[in-house]
Amino acid sequence: MKTIGHFVDGKRVAGKSGRTKDIFNPNTGAVQAKVSMATTAELDAAVASAAKAQVIWAKTNPQKRSRVLFAYKQLVEANMDDLAHMLSSEHGKVVADSRGDVMRGVDVIEFACGVPHAQKGEHTYGAGPEIDVYSLRKPLGVVAGITPFNFPAMIPMWMFGMAISTGNACILKPSEKDPSVPMRLVELFAEAGGPVGLLQCINGDKEIVDAICDHETIKAVSFVGSSDIAQYVYARATANGKRAQCMGGAKNHGIIMPDANMDQAVKDILGAAYGSAGERCMALPVVVPVGEGTAERFLEKMLPAIEAMKIGVSEDPEADYGPVVSAVHRDSINANVTKAVKEGATLVVDGRDFSLQGYEEGFFVGPSLLDHVTPDMETYQDEIFGPVLQIVRADTFEDALKLPSEHQYGNGVAIFTQNGRAAREFADRVEVGMVGINVPIPVPVAYHSFGGWKRSAFGAANQYGMEGLRFYTKVKTITQRWPEGETDDSAFIIPTF
């Protein structure tokens, strides 16, 4: 059976620890490969190599760095189909969704190609008598990205695209559940002309996460995963003097106003709640109809839409979504549905006993719909991360606004309405980081940035865009003059210009 090691010094290498974890095919439930868990010594070697490469890369002019990234972008696009099928075989999402995963990562690489313009500093000529002031954005050095299972292409490219474009070296630590695509993405960077050692991939578990947070040479850590782990990584990394941006969980709400285009809202929410089997931090697992009439109209249209969905294997082009990533996660989702019923929710659609004929051992979960969910229920407060949609009914606009604003998570939210004034007020007042107006999954484009509030994000910096550029660089400001003639006797006085 194939064992995936690491990517160090421009090539794949076998792991040395002897510890491995199984990689499953979620469609069949079978183990298809193993992945090595690195030792701290292996991380040390990778970081030392990355540090050497970074010194040279930082001195490379930005347009040359941009050309390498542009070649990389073209190479990833040329390998799109292979990457998508590889991703689906380990994650379980349908191939069309996997292509989207890769493409949204490519969008950030495309933005990163323009960093020579974005990384320009500021300059003031004549800030004082014959004194000029200018600033530079310098790379940090070696940085690390720790990425989750649910977007094994997009999120790694979010991180290393911005890190490398600004002159850093990067150590990528992907999820051990689906490491093949991150490994291949790093390999493609080397094939595109990336310097040997600049981008490395180390597979591992908590031991390597801790080692990354503690490593003296690593200057910044970017993380995406659950909120508890995000908080842990943020605390440990910052305690060691590192910069950290750590994105956590979510419980995104979709507010349906009485005047909403219900047909469009149902179509949007169906895909946002159940697409990718709900394994998205920007999924829409809570719908909030305003008014009883709105709730009943939503149910009337949503039920046949759910019934018409097709759950299938990842390679089925007609499937709306495929299996979840693991048996453990499947069982957790089903347990949450059971718990919601015990808490008093009304189970309208039950997906717990779903089984796909011919793939009975696969990690499939049918769609569930729960009505009359209330804010005091644990299953409302917690992230289920599966194909489960909860309905929380609200009497008024103010009640609906209060729900996402007071929730522990603040990643994304959407409002469905034809009233511009209501939409504008909602967007202004809601205590959530990313807002969609008639847009169910408001993930910003690459030249903006991604980031939530409250327990959805730890650290001040968002992912990618100009926020990402600032995270991976530090400002150096130079004040200069070239005096001639008589000397200045005010050397002991603070300059006032």
* β-bridge mates for residue 143, sequence order: 170, 220
Which residues are marked as active site? Answer: 281
As given in the structure block, the two tokens for residue 446 are 């690459």
Here the tokens at position 464 are: 């990618």
Residues paired with 435 in a beta bridge: 413
**Rounded-to-integer distance, Cα 159 and Cα 170, Å:** 9
Nearest CA-CA partner of 345 in 291, 400, 286 = 286
d(CA 280, CA 296) in angstroms, rounded, equals: 27
Q: Using an 8 Å Cβ cutoff, are 73 and 109 in contact?
A: yes
Q: Residue 237's closest CA among 255, 220, 258, 251?
A: 220
Q: Which residues contact 480 (CB under 8 A, 6 or more apart)?
A: 131, 132, 133, 134
Laid out side by side, the sheet with 169-173 consists of 11-13, 6-8, 199-201, 169-173, 142-146, 218-224, 243-247, 457-458
Backbone φ and ψ for 476, nearest 5 degrees, come out as -120, 130
Please state, in angstroms and rounded to a whole number, the distance separating the CA atoms of residues 458 and 221: 12
Distant-in-sequence, close-in-space partners of 102: CB < 8 Å, separation ≥ 6: 76, 80, 83, 84, 87, 153, 154, 181
